[in-house]
């Protein structure tokens, strides 16, 4: 997840034009899936205590 965000940050800092929404949608979904997975893992770890 952080690697994806770092790649986006590097592109932004390099002054590259943002991709059209159609190109960003799959990346956004991937990032949100990663976040949801991380949250589910965290919730599971909390319940085991």
- Cα maximum dimension of the chain: 46
Given a cut of 80, is residue 30 above it in pLDDT? yes
For the ranges 6-15, 18-27, 35-44, the one whose mean pLDDT is highest = 35-44
Helices (H), the chain: 2-13, 21-48
Q: What is the pLDDT of residue 18?
A: 62
Closest CA relative to residue 27, chosen from 42, 39, 9: 9
pLDDT confidence bin for 22, thresholds 50/70/90: confident
pLDDT above 80 (res 43): yes
Query: CA 28 to CA 44: how far, in whole Å?
Result: 24
pLDDT of residue 19: 61
pTM confidence score: 0.46
CA of 38: how far to CAs of 12, 41, 48, in Å?
A: 25, 5, 16
């Amino acid at each position: 997840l952080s690697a994806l965000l770092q790649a986006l940050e590097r592109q932004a800092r390099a002054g590259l034009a943002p991709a059209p929404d159609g190109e960003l949608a799959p990346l956004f979904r991937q990032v949100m899936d990663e976040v949801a997975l991380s949250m589910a893992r965290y919730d599971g770890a909390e319940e085991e205590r």
